C-alpha cells in the first residue's frame, strides 16, 4: 500500500483505532472501524435490514438511560447519546450504515458501525468535531455491552416487532378474508378431490374454511415464535459471563424496550445458551416457513379451482387483474396466486439459510448472525406483503361458479361411495365401473339396474347429505 494513501484529503479525515490510522469521509458519522469493514467486505449490495438498525438504536438509547441511572454515565453524554440513538431509531441516519451483510459472523462490524454513528452524532450535539470521540463509541455508547450480546438481542427485537406490527396483522387480514368466503360459499356443494381424482362431495365453503384454519394456525405458530424470541442475550457480554456489565443492566434495558415495542423481552435464563446458539431464530424461521407452506398450498388450490375458464376445473372465478399473454388475446392468468407461490419458495429457501446459520455455533459464539437476520426478516417482510396482496387482490374478489360445481358432482364416479354402506363395497365398485364404461352417471346406472328404490337412491345420492357426518356407516373411500 502506498504510504500516502491514508493521508487526509479535503474530503476525508484521519481516524485511529487499535490497528492504526485510516481515512474516513469527512462528512460521515461512521468512523474508522466502519471504514475498515467497508474495505474488508465488498461482497454484495445487501445491507442490514432497517428493522435491525432500528433495534440497535433502541438498545443504545435504553442502555444510555440505564447506565446513567446506575451512576455509570454522566448526564451530558447520556442526553447526547439518547438524542443520537433516537435519530437512528427514526431512520434519519440510515445512509450511515453501509456495511455488507456478509461480514464478521458475530455482527461486530454492525455493532461498531452503530457505536460510531451515535458517538459522532452525540459528540457533534455537545459541540465537538466528528472523530474527536468526546462521546466515545466503546467507553460510552457500548458501555456494559459486547457485539456478542447486542447483535442477537437486536435481531430478536427486530424479528418480534416486525412479526407483531406487520406479519400478524397481514395474516389476520387474510384469515378474515378466507373466513368470509367460507361463509359466502357454504351453500355451494362441489366435488372433493384426493390424489387429484374425484372424491366424495364437499361444500366450497368447507374448502375455504380449511384454508382459513390453516392461516389461523399459522398465526398461532408465529405467536409461539415470538415467545421463543422473548429471551435475549443482552447482559452476557463477550461469552455469557456478564463481564464488565452491571447485574441489573439487561433487565432494566429490556423493560424499556418491551414498553416501547409492545413486545415482551426478558433477560435470558442462561446467557451461555443465548450467545452460543440461536435456536430461537431457527424456531422462528421454521414457523414463518410453515406459514409459507400453508400459503403455497392455498395459492395452488386457488389456481387449480379457477383454472379454465372453459377447459379447466372452473369452480371459482378469480378477479381479472391484468392481461395474461403477449400472444393469446383475452387470456387472463392467476397472477396474484402465482406471485404468492414465488414468495413462498423464497421464504422456504431463506429458512434453509437460517437453519445452516444455526449450525454455525462453535463453543461460546454463533458466527452467521448477520445472514440469519437478513433471511428471517426478509421472509417476514415478503410474507407480510404477499398475504396482504393475496387477501385484497385475489381472495376478496373470488366468486363461485355454482353451475359448474353442480355439473361436476353429478358426473363424478365417487358418488357411488354413498351407496357402499347399503349395497356393499364390491357392488358399489361394479356400479362405478359400469358408469365409467357406459359414459353415464352413477345415478343413471343405479336406476337402470334398480339397485335400490328411487326414493332411497335419491336420499343416498343427495350431494349435500354427503358433505355432513352421519348416515349409514361403512367404508368411506380412500
Q: Could you tell me if residue 242 is inside a domain? A: no
Q: Identify the CATH number of the domain in which residue 54 sits.
A: 1.10.275.10
Q: Chain-wide mean pLDDT for the chain?
A: 94
Q: Could you tell me if residue 21 is inside a domain? A: no
Q: Identify the CATH number of the domain in which residue 434 sits.
A: 1.10.40.30
Q: 160 an active-site residue?
A: no
H or E stretch covering 199? strand 197-203
Query: Grid coordinates representing 44?
Result: 454484495
Q: Do residues 385 and 421 share a domain?
A: no
Q: Could you tell me if residue 7 is inside a domain? A: no
Query: Grid coordinates representing 270?
Result: 442462561
Output b/e per residue, 63-72; b: 16+ Cβ within 10 A.
bbbbbbeeeb
Q: How far apart are CA 163 and CA 51, in angstroms?
A: 11
Q: Name the domain count of the chain.
A: 3
Residues 72, 143 contacting (CB under 8 angstroms):
yes
Q: How far apart are CA 4 and CA 76, in angstroms?
A: 38
Q: What is the pLDDT, as a whole number, of residue 472?
A: 59
Which residue is catalytic, options 77, 109, 146, 195? 195
Q: Do residues 202 and 320 share a domain?
A: yes
Q: How far apart are CA 343 and CA 383, in angstroms?
A: 7
Residue 63 has pLDDT above 50, yes or no: yes
Closest Cα to residue 222, out of 289, 176, 177, 174? Answer: 289
Q: Could you tell me if residue 149 is inside a domain? A: no
Q: How far apart are CA 334 and CA 320, in angstroms?
A: 8
Q: Could you tell me if residue 97 is inside a domain? A: yes
Average pLDDT estimate for 354-379: 97
Q: How far apart are CA 106 and CA 1, in angstroms?
A: 28
Q: What is the pLDDT, as a whole number, of residue 293?
A: 98
Q: Do residues 314 and 435 share a domain?
A: no
Q: What is the pLDDT, as a whole number, of residue 473?
A: 53
Q: What is the pLDDT of residues 252-290, one digit of tens each?
A: 999 999 999 999 999 999 999 999 999 999 999 999 999
Portion of the chain with pLDDT greater than 70, in percent: 96
Closest Cα to residue 51, out of 373, 366, 357? Answer: 373
Residue 421 phi/psi, 5-degree rounding, is -65, -20
Q: What is the DSSP letter of 415?
A: G
H runs (alpha helix) in 163-309: 168-184, 204-229, 249-261, 271-276, 279-305
Which residue is catalytic, options 9, 44, 325, 475? 325
Q: Do residues 288 and 368 share a domain?
A: yes
Instruction: Write the CA distances from 100 to 45, 96, 137, 196, 351, integer angstroms.
Output: 7, 12, 20, 47, 20
Q: What is the pLDDT, as a whole number, of residue 283?
A: 98
Q: What is the pLDDT, as a whole number, of residue 2?
A: 46
pLDDT grade for 317, boundaries at 50, 70 and 90: very high
Q: Do residues 398 and 318 share a domain?
A: yes
Residues 65, 256 contacting (CB under 8 angstroms):
yes
Q: Do residues 198 and 338 share a domain?
A: yes
Q: Do residues 435 and 391 share a domain?
A: no
Residues 6+ apart with CB under 8 A from 212: 175, 178, 179, 182
Query: What number of helices (H) and strands (E) belong to the chain?
Result: 18, 10
Q: Identify the CATH number of the domain in which residue 364 sits.
A: 1.20.200.10
Q: Could you tell me if residue 301 is inside a domain? A: yes
pLDDT grade for 322, boundaries at 50, 70 and 90: confident
Lowest mean pLDDT among 142-146, 217-221, 459-463: 459-463
Lowest mean pLDDT among 156-160, 209-213, 425-429: 425-429
Q: Do residues 396 and 421 share a domain?
A: no
Q: How far apart are CA 407 and CA 282, in angstroms?
A: 48
Q: How many CB atoms lie within 10 A of CB 7?
A: 11
Q: How far apart are CA 51 and CA 46, in angstroms?
A: 14
Q: What is the pLDDT, as a whole number, of residue 310?
A: 87
Residue 20 has pLDDT above 60, yes or no: yes
Q: What is the pLDDT of residues 386-421, one digit of tens each?
A: 999 999 999 999 999 999 999 999 899 988 999 999
Q: What is the pLDDT, as a whole number, of residue 84?
A: 98
Average pLDDT estimate for 75-97: 98
Q: What is the pLDDT, as a whole number, of residue 364?
A: 96
* Phi/psi-derived region of residue 91, left when phi > 0, alpha when psi is between -120 and 50, beta in every other case: left
Q: How far apart are CA 52 and CA 56, in angstroms?
A: 6
Residue 69 has pLDDT above 60, yes or no: yes
Q: Which residues form the domain of 460?
A: 412-466
Q: What is the pLDDT, as a whole number, of residue 10?
A: 57
Select from 128, 143, 158 the last residue of a domain.
143
Select from 402, 430, 457 the last residue of a domain.
402
Q: Do residues 193 and 292 share a domain?
A: yes
Q: What is the pLDDT of residues 194-243, one digit of tens each?
A: 999 999 999 999 999 999 999 999 999 999 999 999 999 999 999 999 99
Instruction: Write the CA distances from 12 to 29, 33, 93, 453, integer angstroms.
Output: 12, 15, 19, 96
Q: Do residues 297 and 223 share a domain?
A: yes
Q: Do residues 384 and 419 share a domain?
A: no
Q: What is the pLDDT, as a whole number, of residue 1?
A: 41
Residues 6+ apart with CB under 8 A from 401: 314, 315, 316, 317
Q: Could you tell me if residue 335 is inside a domain? A: yes
Q: Do residues 299 and 200 share a domain?
A: yes
Query: Grid coordinates representing 165?
Result: 406490527
Q: What is the pLDDT, as a whole number, of residue 384?
A: 98
Select from 383, 402, 421 the last residue of a domain.
402
Query: Grid coordinates representing 62?
Result: 435504553
Q: What is the pLDDT, as a whole number, of residue 385?
A: 98
Q: Could you tell me if residue 238 is inside a domain? A: no
Lowest mean pLDDT among 180-194, 345-359, 377-391, 407-421: 407-421
pLDDT grade for 326, boundaries at 50, 70 and 90: confident
Instruction: Write the CA distances from 256 to 62, 223, 353, 399, integer angstroms.
Output: 6, 21, 32, 48
Q: 325 an active-site residue?
A: yes
Cell 365417487 belongs to which residue? 414
Amino acid at each position: 500500500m502506498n504510504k500516502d494513501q491514508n493521508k487526509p484529503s479535503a474530503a476525508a479525515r484521519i481516524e485511529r483505532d487499535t490497528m492504526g490510522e485510516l481515512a474516513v469521509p469527512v462528512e460521515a458519522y461512521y468512523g474508522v472501524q466502519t471504514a475498515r469493514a467497508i474495505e474488508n467486505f465488498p461482497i454484495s449490495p445487501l445491507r442490514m435490514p432497517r428493522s435491525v438498525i432500528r433495534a440497535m438504536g433502541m438498545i443504545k438509547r435504553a442502555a444510555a438511560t440505564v447506565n446513567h441511572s446506575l451512576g455509570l454515565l454522566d448526564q451530558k453524554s447520556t442526553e447526547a447519546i439518547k438524542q443520537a440513538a433516537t435519530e437512528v431509531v427514526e431512520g434519519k441516519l440510515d445512509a450511515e450504515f453501509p456495511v455488507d451483510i456478509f461480514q464478521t459472523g458475530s455482527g461486530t462490524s454492525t455493532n461498531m458501525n452503530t457505536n460510531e454513528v451515535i458517538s459522532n452524532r452525540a459528540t457533534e450535539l455537545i459541540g465537538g468535531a466528528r472523530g474527536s470521540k468526546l462521546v466515545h463509541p466503546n467507553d460510552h455508547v457500548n458501555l456494559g455491552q459486547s457485539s456478542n450480546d447486542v447483535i442477537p438481542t437486536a435481531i430478536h427485537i427486530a424479528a418480534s416487532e416486525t412479526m407483531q406490527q406487520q406479519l400478524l396483522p397481514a395474516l389476520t387480514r387474510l384469515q378474515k378474508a378466507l373466513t368470509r368466503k367460507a361463509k359466502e360459499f357454504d351453500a355451494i356443494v362441489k366435488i372433493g378431490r384426493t390424489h387429484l381424482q374425484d372424491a366424495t362431495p364437499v361444500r366450497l365453503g368447507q374448502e375455504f374454511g380449511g384454508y382459513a384454519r390453516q392461516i389461523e394456525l399459522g398465526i398461532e405458530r408465529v405467536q409461539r415464535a415470538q415467545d421463543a424470541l422473548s429471551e435475549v442475550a443482552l447482559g452476557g457480554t463477550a461469552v455469557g459471563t456478564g463481564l464488565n456489565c452491571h447485574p441489573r443492566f439487561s433487565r432494566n434495558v429490556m423493560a424499556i424496550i418491551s414498553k416501547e415495542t409492545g413486545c415482551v423481552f426478558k433477560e435470558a435464563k442462561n446467557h451461555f445458551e443465548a450467545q452460543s446458539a440461536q435456536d430461537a431464530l431457527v424456531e422462528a424461521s421454521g414457523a414463518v416457513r410453515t406459514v409459507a407452506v400453508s400459503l403455497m398450498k392455498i395459492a395452488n388450490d386457488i389456481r387449480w379451482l379457477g383454472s379454465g375458464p372453459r377447459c379447466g376445473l372452473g369452480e371459482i372465478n378469480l378477479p381479472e387483474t391484468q392481461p395474461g399473454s403477449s400472444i393469446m388475446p383475452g387470456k387472463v392468468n392467476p397472477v396474484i396466486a402465482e406471485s404468492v407461490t414465488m414468495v413462498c419458495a423464497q421464504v422456504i429457501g431463506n429458512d434453509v439459510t437460517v437453519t445452516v446459520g444455526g449450525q454455525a455455533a462453535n463453543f461460546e459464539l454463533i458466527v452467521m448472525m448477520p445472514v440469519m437476520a437478513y433471511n428471517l426478516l426478509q421472509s417476514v417482510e415478503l410474507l407480510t406483503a404477499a398475504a396482504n396482496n393475496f387477501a385484497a387482490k385475489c381472495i376478496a374478489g373470488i366468486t363461485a361458479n355454482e353451475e359448474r360445481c353442480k355439473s361436476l358432482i353429478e358426473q363424478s364416479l365417487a358418488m357411488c361411495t354413498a351407496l357402499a354402506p347399503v349395497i356393499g363395497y364390491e357392488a358399489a365398485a361394479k356400479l362405478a365401473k359400469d358408469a365409467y364404461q357406459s359414459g353415464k352417471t352413477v345415478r343413471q346406472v343405479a336406476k337402470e339396474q334398480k339397485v335400490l328404490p328411487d326414493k332411497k337412491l335419491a336420499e343416498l345420492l343427495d350431494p349435500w347429505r354427503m358433505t355432513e357426518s352421519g348416515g349409514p356407516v361403512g367404508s368411506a373411500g380412500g
